[in-house]
Structure 1
Amino acid sequence: MAVKETAKDALKIVMYLGSNRNPRACSRVAKFVQNALVKTNHEVTVFDPWELDLPVLKQAMMMVKDWSTLPERLVRANEALVASDAIVVVSGEYNHSIPPALSNLIDHFPLSSYAFKVSAIVCYSPGPYGGMRAAMQLRAMLGEIGTVSIPNIFGIPRVTGALSEEGEPLNDHMESGVGKLITQLDWYAKAIRDRKRENGTP
């Protein structure tokens, strides 16, 4: 696991949940990942499509001149995104692709809100592939919006046998996998954060 830091230096993480199905395995994965991040002294804000309940995108925030006309929950979420150091995406795959609720959620926010951050992908599936087909597409999408994903991807095959409904790990792969992901995410996120503090952004 990553080394704990003081509250002043703790990384601020926005965690996107990718599923809008009911029931959804995403909930158990999200609980596990969030617990692991909190234990390693990260500040976590969760963007859940169930809770944000945003409509199918008709106009992105960056196209709206008067943000007072936007839902307050969207404006507050964007403030959290801007203030964050990194993004963690927890997603399954729908038809071997990115879940529509996830792409809809990502697309609502301005590209400037994602700029100069890194992201990490946690993917899962009920079968043996661990959601990797969606992860490959997510990596391209995250790069295009300005938050490049770290090299490590944490894939969880046969997710219902890997985590309980409460997000408790049921095999050794879970603890070691999330530990590697967080260690690598921290390295990249801190490097970018410290560089921005010293020199700003181009």
Structure 2
Amino acid sequence: MTTSNPPRILVFAGSAREKSFNKRLARLAAERVEHAGGQATFIDLRDYPLPLYDGDLESREGLPANARRLQELLDEHQGLLLASPEYNGFITPLMKNTLDWMSRSDGERSGLALFADQVAAVVSASPGALGGMRSLALIRQLLSNLGVTVLPSPLAVPRAAQAFNENDELADESQRERLDALCQRLVNTLAKLHAADSPSGS
């Protein structure tokens, strides 16, 4: 990848709910990545249903088709931006299950290797006062376990039911600025990494 190509960033939320606050935040983050000079691909995990991870199922049938599709998407991108909802103080089963399947190997492709060179930013929105802070700590740990470099200063959006305006933008100026700063940092970090990896003079 040459420095003239914008870094590609895969964006999704750990919720399949149609009116999910985190899905709205992920879509908004994808827009801000584009504004920052990156190339964002937003996907809805509702379009990639997966069975609950089961080692016997994997041994018997191999990776589900949607797990392979998600791995292909990951391979086509250099960064991740994940919106992680909080269920009972934890990450959602959908987020955990999706990442578990994506990390598996199929004999031809190592799932963990696909994560190894990724850089990620994480955000969360919650109806509560903490804004999903517990979920953010856990998704950061999970991504780090997979070999992903996770940027500091994640964004937590509390009281999500009142956090978005009629245009689906964050109503609070400081939250808008923090989201912009996080997206810009992700784009800049990826651009610098790929510039360093490019052959001299290319």
Q: Which of 30, 36, 51 does residue 34 from structure 1 map onto? A: 30
Separation of aligned partners in 1, 2:64 and 2:50 = 11
Divergent runs of 4+, >6 A: 63-67
TM-score, reference length from structure 1? 0.82
Residues 135-146 of structure 1 mapped to structure 2, 5 A cutoff: 135-146=136-147
- Alignment gaps of 5+ in structure 2: 103-110
Residues 161-200 of structure 1 mapped to structure 2, 5 A cutoff: 161-164=162-165, 167-198=168-199
Residue 55 of structure 1 pairs with residue 51 of structure 2: yes
Cα distance, 1:156 vs. partner? Answer: 0.8
Note closer, same or farther for the CA distance 1:195–1:86 as it changes in structure 2 (3 Å cut).
Answer: same
Question: What residue is the counterpart of 2:68 in the other structure?
Answer: 75
Per-residue CA shift, 1:74-111, capped at 9, x if unaligned? Answer: 32321220121111111120010111100111111111
Residue 9 of structure 1 pairs with residue 2 of structure 2: no
- 1:163 counterpart letter in structure 2: F
**8 Å Cα contact 2:82-2:122 kept in structure 1:** yes
Separation of aligned partners in 1, 2:157 and 2:97 = 23
Cα distance, 1:54 vs. partner? Answer: 1.3
**8 Å Cα contact 2:9-2:38 kept in structure 1:** yes
SS at match of 1:151: coil
Residue 43 of structure 1 pairs with residue 43 of structure 2: no
**8 Å Cα contact 2:33-2:40 kept in structure 1:** yes
**8 Å Cα contact 2:33-2:184 kept in structure 1:** no
**8 Å Cα contact 1:14-1:87 kept in structure 2:** yes
- Alignment gaps of 5+ in structure 1: 1-5
Separation of aligned partners in 2, 1:53 and 1:136 = 25
**8 Å Cα contact 2:3-2:194 kept in structure 1:** no
**8 Å Cα contact 1:31-1:167 kept in structure 2:** no
Note closer, same or farther for the CA distance 1:175–1:197 as it changes in structure 2 (3 Å cut).
Answer: same
**8 Å Cα contact 1:93-1:134 kept in structure 2:** yes
TM-score, reference length from structure 2? 0.82
Cα distance, 1:18 vs. partner? Answer: 1.0
Question: What residue is the counterpart of 1:149 in the other structure?
Answer: 150
Q: CA RMSD in A?
A: 2.8
Question: What residue is the counterpart of 2:15 in the other structure?
Answer: 19
Paired residue total: 191
Matched-pair identity in %? 24
Residue 90 of structure 1 pairs with residue 83 of structure 2: yes
Cα distance, 1:166 vs. partner? Answer: 5.0
Per-residue CA shift, 1:93-139, capped at 9, x if unaligned? Answer: 00101111001111111111111111101111112111011111111
